[in-house]
Amino acid sequence: MSRNYYIYSNFLELNQSLSRLLSINQKFIRYNLLKYYSNKILLIHMPSFAPPLLYRIGAVSKLANVPVTTLRIWETRYQAFTPTKTLGQHRLYGPDDVLRATLLKQLSEQGHAVSGIASLNSTQLQLLHTQGLSASALQRAATQAPTMRACVIGTGLAQRLSSSGLKLGLFAEHSERAQVFSDLTAARAETEHASTDLLLIRLNTVQESTVSELLEFVRSTRASHTLLLYVYGASNNLQTLGNAGITVRKDSISDAELSEWIRNASLEQALRATATPNAERQATPKKYSDETLSRVANISTAVLCECPRHVAELLAQLSSFEQYSQECLNKNSADQRLHEHLAEVSGQARALFEHALELIAAHEGIAL
């Protein structure tokens, strides 16, 4: 009796142990299944990109400091914005619309008619605002610019540029003529002695040997604008390239930043191509020689503040700087645009001071 009871007790204990073990295994299996499918659900529902920012017209009004009524007039009368509409027919504006509203306000305060500039894109409006260009010059550049010569090094970069998500402005109209090469070696072999306008390069690494090779290639192509996208590179090598006039950016640059650089570079190249060449510009000739200015500077006059001397000295300095800037145009192609602007500004300032000197000379009876 006792033996049968002992066997029965062991059987019950074994059965309970098996039940507990099965329960633990079931919980373990349920836990892992839940964990697995939870991760799958998270991966499915997690967005791969942030949704675009959209604003109602009241928010645009506050951000751009433009009255709502004015924004509506610009939109309905000049098609200045391209808002999207919700199912309830509410207009929603993007960041580019906010930028356009801000630029249109600033340009209208500078004297530009909104009706004449509302059709320009954001890049053109920014150039109009920052560089003092006229709307007619921008329109001429957009419609009359010759075919742009572009060179793209890196098949991955070429595929990225062909993406429909990139807004490339004038570059897009000529992108089918862009030369594409897999690497720098292939580009050097095919483009020897050939010039280009825009040069876009992607490199995995920027070594010291790469710097000299890249600089030599840029000089041989005589590219007006060069963009280098890199993955890894020493700071001193990157600084050397930057000092040579090459725009250096990480390969992780956003599509928006890449598009903006290409649009700006394309438009600047078009403006340069449609501008009047330096040789054809009617520059204001220098009126007074260095000897005349030196003589005026040493004349004793009744003007206690010595204006004749100061103005004559300023004229001499401006004339020297104007000549210096003109000579720099032929020596440094990377800085050509900057030196061209400096020469024009110094020439305009010289003309103003020449007129001032004439007024002083008439007042003091000085023969020029």
Cα 79 to Cα 69, 75, 114, 117, 235: the distances in Å are 14, 4, 11, 11, 46
SS3 314: helix
247 and 226 Cβ atoms separated by less than 8 Å: yes
Determine the Cα–Cα distance for residues 197 and 17; give it in Å rounded to an integer.
81
Determine the Cα–Cα distance for residues 351 and 345; give it in Å rounded to an integer.
10
For residue 152 the two structure tokens come to 């793209």
Q: What pLDDT is recorded for position 71?
A: 92
> What's the residue count for the chain?
368
Max mean pLDDT range (122-136, 216-230, 292-306, 324-338): 216-230
Q: Each residue of 79-129: pLDDT tens digit?
A: 989 888 888 888 899 888 888 899 898 888 877 788 888 888 777 787 677
Residue 203 has pLDDT above 90, yes or no: yes
Determine the Cα–Cα distance for residues 223 and 200; give it in Å rounded to an integer.
10
For residue 368 the two structure tokens come to 């020029």
Q: What pLDDT is recorded for position 138?
A: 61
Domains 57-144 and 150-267 share a fold: no
Determine the Cα–Cα distance for residues 191 and 171; give it in Å rounded to an integer.
20
Determine the Cα–Cα distance for residues 105 and 37; give it in Å rounded to an integer.
53
Q: Compute the Cα dihedral for 72, 78, 84, 86 and give only its sign.
A: positive
Determine the Cα–Cα distance for residues 74 and 72; give it in Å rounded to an integer.
5
Output Rg (C-alpha) for the chain, integer angstroms: 34
Q: What pLDDT is recorded for position 265?
A: 78
**DSSP letter, residue 206:** E
Domain 150-267 has CATH 3.40.30.10: no
Q: What pLDDT is recorded for position 48?
A: 39
SS (H, E, C) 220-245: HHCCCEEEEEEEEECHHHHHHHHHCC
Cα 100 to Cα 82, 220, 279, 297: the distances in Å are 11, 39, 36, 51
Residue 15 has pLDDT above 60, yes or no: no
CA angle 289, 292, 294 (to 5 degrees): 110
Determine the Cα–Cα distance for residues 368 and 363; give it in Å rounded to an integer.
12
Q: DSSP string covering 319-348, please?
A: HHHHHHHHHHTTT-GGGHHHHHHHHHHHHH
Residues 6+ apart with CB under 8 A from 360: 303, 307, 308, 311, 366
Query: What pTM did the predictor assign?
Result: 0.47
- Determine which of 145-159, 170-184, 194-208 has the lowest per-residue pLDDT on average: 170-184
356 confidence band (pLDDT: 50, 70, 90): confident
Domain 57-144 class, CATH top level: mainly alpha
Q: What pLDDT is recorded for position 143?
A: 60
* Domain map (residue ranges) of the chain: 1-46, 57-144, 150-267, 278-364
Instruction: Tell me the average pLDDT of the chain.
Output: 75
232 confidence band (pLDDT: 50, 70, 90): very high
Q: What pLDDT is recorded for position 348?
A: 78
Beta bridge partners of 209: none
The number of angstroms, rounded, from the C-alpha of 279 to the middle of its chain's C-alpha atoms is 30
Q: Which residue has the higher pLDDT, 98 or 336?
A: 98
Q: What pLDDT is recorded for position 205?
A: 92
Determine the Cα–Cα distance for residues 218 and 11; give it in Å rounded to an integer.
88
Residue 240 has pLDDT above 80, yes or no: yes
- Determine which of 86-100, 267-281, 354-368 has the lowest per-residue pLDDT on average: 267-281
Q: What pLDDT is recorded for position 204?
A: 92
Q: What pLDDT is recorded for position 367?
A: 79
Residue 239: what residue type? Q
